């Protein structure tokens, strides 16, 4: 959904939460993607892609508060990635959807415009999400929830 810019942001949050298999991850993902709805006035990933194609990456446009909301949402999604025991490639595979969603929130969703930036941001965010799975589970859950809550608060304030 995030890679192709189709569907609803809140539905994506719910699906990421289910994929993670943790209530805290699900809540963090829904909060992060709810901030998109609050900031842009639409939960449509198509609308998010269009707005960022015209205005620029959410993490760099608008007020400082609005940009900070995008980065907090991206951080919440990165930290919400599920922990998968096994080799690095399995962790990266499980974290990839969270990284792609984080990149869509902060840099832009789907093809078009700055495709190289979007691909690079997706790869970097997926790698960060995979790396975060080595951190203590409770710490990442708390940080993900805090990031999601901060994203919503900042989107409301913007």
pLDDT band per the 50, 70, 90 thresholds, residue 109: low
Better pLDDT: 51 or 121: 121
Better pLDDT: 40 or 50: 40
pLDDT band per the 50, 70, 90 thresholds, residue 113: low
- Examine the pLDDT at 74 and tell me if it is beyond 90: yes
Count of CB atoms within 10 A of residue 49's CB? Answer: 22
- Phi-psi sector, 34: left (phi>0), alpha (psi -120 to 50), beta: alpha
- Examine the pLDDT at 110 and tell me if it is beyond 80: no
pLDDT band per the 50, 70, 90 thresholds, residue 84: confident
The H or E element containing residue 151 is helix 137-157
pLDDT band per the 50, 70, 90 thresholds, residue 13: confident
Better pLDDT: 146 or 91: 146
Tokens coding 130? 């995979």
Q: How many helices (H) does the chain have, and how many strands (E)?
A: 7, 0
- Phi-psi sector, 26: left (phi>0), alpha (psi -120 to 50), beta: alpha
In this prediction the pTM is 0.88
Mean per-residue pLDDT for 99-125?
81
- Examine the pLDDT at 53 and tell me if it is beyond 60: yes
Are the beta carbons of 144 and 28 closer than 8 angstroms? yes
Tabulate helix, strand, coil % of the chain (nearest 5). 75, 0, 25
Q: What is the pLDDT of residue 44?
A: 79
């Amino acid at each position: 959904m995030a890679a192709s810019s189709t569907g609803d942001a809140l539905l994506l949050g719910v699906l990421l939460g289910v994929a993670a298999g943790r209530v805290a991850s699900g809540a963090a993902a829904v909060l992060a993607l709810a901030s998109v709805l609050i900031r842009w006035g639409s939960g449509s990933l198509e609308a998010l892609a269009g707005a960022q194609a015209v205005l620029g990456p959410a993490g760099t446009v608008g007020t400082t508060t609005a940009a900070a909301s995008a980065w907090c949402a991206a951080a919440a999604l990165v930290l919400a990635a599920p922990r998968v025991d096994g080799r690095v490639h399995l962790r990266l595979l499980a974290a990839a959807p969270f990284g792609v969603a984080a990149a869509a929130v902060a840099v832009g969703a789907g093809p078009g415009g700055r495709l190289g930036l979007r691909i690079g941001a997706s790869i970097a965010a997926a790698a960060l999400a995979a790396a975060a799975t080595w951190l203590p589970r409770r710490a990442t859950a708390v940080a993900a929830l805090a990031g999601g809550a901060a994203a919503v608060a900042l989107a409301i304030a913007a």
